[in-house]
Amino acid sequence: MRINPTTSGSGVSTLEKKNPGRVVQIIGPVLDVAFPPGKMPNIYNALVVQGRDSVGQPINVACEVQQLLGNNRVRAVAMSATDGLTRGMAVIDTGAPISVPVGGATLGRIFNVLGEPVDNLG
């Protein structure tokens, strides 16, 4: 899955144009996220939490929606460590499920759950 935002001709990140939400609870790898009324993501949609932790290090965590809780909240599971995440951090609904590359270029390669190569072959 490509979670790095791309920039459109207007200079605005394509992730910034997506549906925004806020982290309301973090318990281990599980996040509860609130969205505006009528803007709830679908189950299995990828969410991206981007920001900075308390010491200024960048945070970029991909999550997958697993449950609709009601009251405009969803429960999502993080695909990487949630260290440094705090309540109130911005969350973006990508509008699509997590996807990984396929095809001849991926044969024999080793990927993580987000489709990022981990075999140091480029």
CATH number at residue 36: 2.40.10.170
Give the count of beta carbons closer than 10 Å to the beta carbon of residue 103.
6
Report the domain count for the chain.
1
Each residue's pLDDT tens digit, 59-75: 999 999 999 999 999 99
C-alpha dihedral sign at 15, 21, 23, 25: negative
Each residue's pLDDT tens digit, 19-48: 899 999 999 999 999 999 999 999 999 999
Domain residue limits at 24: 19-106
Residue 77 lies in a domain: yes
- Whether 11 has a pLDDT exceeding 90, the answer reads no
Write down the pLDDT at residue 90: 95
Q: How far apart are CA 116 and CA 122, in angstroms?
A: 10
Residue 35 lies in a domain: yes
Question: Would you say 52 and 58 are in contact if contact means Cβ atoms under 8 Å apart?
Answer: yes
Residue 70 lies in a domain: yes
DSSP state of 115: S
Residue 93 lies in a domain: yes
Q: How far apart are CA 15 and CA 2, in angstroms?
A: 11
Residue 6 lies in a domain: no
